[in-house]
Structure 1
Amino acid sequence: MEKRILEEELEDLQNNVLRMGALVEKALYDATRALLEGHADLAERVIAADDSIDSLNTEVQDQCVRLLALRQPMAGDLRTIKTDLQIAMDLERMGDYSESIAKAALRLHGEKTIHKLHYMPQMVELVREMAHNFITSYDLADIELARRAATLEDAIDKLYKESFQSLTGIIREDPGTAATAIQLLLAGVYLERIADHATNIGESVIYMVTGLRSNLNV
């Protein structure tokens, strides 16, 4: 009886983490679309929806504490709870950075566009793909998918460096573009940090499945 109750509560916990993951994926997709396409209304919806991610994070934290205090889980179940706790924290930060991208998109709305920034759509696409794959790896407990998703990190880092060099160069050549360029620089920083937290999720999945700590950034 006790075992079945624990299993049901663990399943409910996982479902809440997956709900968080779905909300974060949507926030990331909508925020980056607002950034690339200039949709102010979409950016505002991302900002308003962040409270839902925060509320789910609080619920997951509370569930984990209750499970640890009342069910005294052992071995694999304990590892699962610790993993869910960490993943929820990383998802919450990814949601915060998506909100920050949406705010940058709002500040850019109506501003003069800086052309020839091919790296930004590429970086957006890779970060979206990475986030989706890491969240899916948690859903499926698929450590190979987590490892494959981590291979995108180098390409994202390269695009981030290119964006920094390009935008700082644009500011030097035309100081009038500084306000716009700074928002794009910040968006690049937020995307890079989302990728970092997504990678943390992959490392948590590997720990959950194998009990081994790993560094997917190596």
Structure 2
Amino acid sequence: MQNTILDNELEELKFEIIRMGALIEKAIYDSTKSLINGQVDLAQQVIAEDDKIDRLNVDVQDKCLRLLALRQPLAVDLRTVQGDLQIATDLERMGDCAEKIAKSTVRLAGKRTITELSCLSQMTEKVREMVASVINAYTTADIETARVIVKMEDEIDGLYRQCFDRLVEIIKKEPGKAEMAIQLLFAGHCLERIADHATNIGESILYMVTGRRTDLND
């Protein structure tokens, strides 16, 4: 009976993480779309909905702590709860990054001076792909996909360096575009941080499935 209750609670916890992941995917998609297209209304929607992600994170954290205290899970079940606890934290931080990107959109309202955003657009698409992949890997316990995540992070890091160099050049040579360039630099850094958190989730998945701590950046 105890195992059945624990199994059900672990399944409920997984559902909450997947739900949280879906909200994060949407927040990242909408915030980056708002930035690239200058859609302030969409950005404000992302900012408003971040509270929903925060509340869900608190709920997941509470569930994990109650499971640890009341059910005292062992072995695989213990790793699952520990992994979910860390994954929820990384997802919530991704949501914070998406909110910051949306705030950059709002700050740029009526002040957009740079129209060529191909580098940032490429980075955005790769980050979206990475986040979708790692959430799917969590859903299916796919450790092979989790291991591939680091390669995607390397690509994103490369794109960020390109964006950084280009935007710094704009700041130096075209002072009138500096304000937007600074906001885009900030958004690019947020995208890079989202990729870092996705890598952390990949490491958590590997730990949950294999029982081994793995640094995907090695």
Q: Which category describes the TM-score, using the shorter chain as reference length?
A: over 0.9
Task: Summarize the alignment of residues 6-85 of structure 1 with structure 2, pairs less than 5 Å apart.
Answer: 6-85=6-85
The alpha carbon displacement at 1:150 in A equals 2.3
List per-residue Cα deviations over 1:1-58 (Å, max 9, x = no partner). 1110000000011111111100000000000000111111100000000001000100
Contact kept? 2:36, 2:117, Cα under 8 Å = no
Q: Which ranges in structure 1 are unaligned for 5 or more consecutive residues? A: none
How does the TM-score come out when normalised to structure 1?
0.98
User: Contact between 1:153 and 1:217, CA under 8 Å: does it hold in 2?
Assistant: no
- Indicate if the aligned counterparts of 1:123 and 1:156 stay in contact, CA closer than 8 A: yes
Partner in structure 1 of residue 170 of structure 2: 170
Correspondence 1:157-196 to 2 at 5 A: 157-196=157-196
For residues 170 and 63 of structure 1, what CA distance do their matches in structure 2 show? 48
**Structure 2: runs of 5 or more not aligned:** none
Number of residue-to-residue matches in the alignment: 218
Q: 1:130, 1:150 within 8 Å by CA — same for their partners in 2?
A: no
The runs of at least 4 aligned residues of structure 1 exceeding 3 Å deviation read: none
**What is the deviation of 1:117?**
3.2
CA displacement at 1:115 relative to structure 2: 3.4
TM-score, normalised with respect to structure 2: 0.98
Q: Which residue is 1:96 aligned to?
A: 96
Displacement after TM superposition at 1:113 (Å): 2.9
CA distance in 2, matches of 1:198, 1:182: 25
Q: Which residue of 1 aligns with 2:86?
A: 86
Identity over aligned pairs, percent: 59
Distance 1:211 1:112 in 2: 49
The letter of the residue matching 1:5 is: I
Are 1:34 and 1:102, in contact at CA under 8 Å, matched by a contact in 2? yes
Alignment deviations for residues 112-162 of structure 1 (CA, whole Å, 9 cap, x no partner):
331333210000000000011011100000000111232111111111111
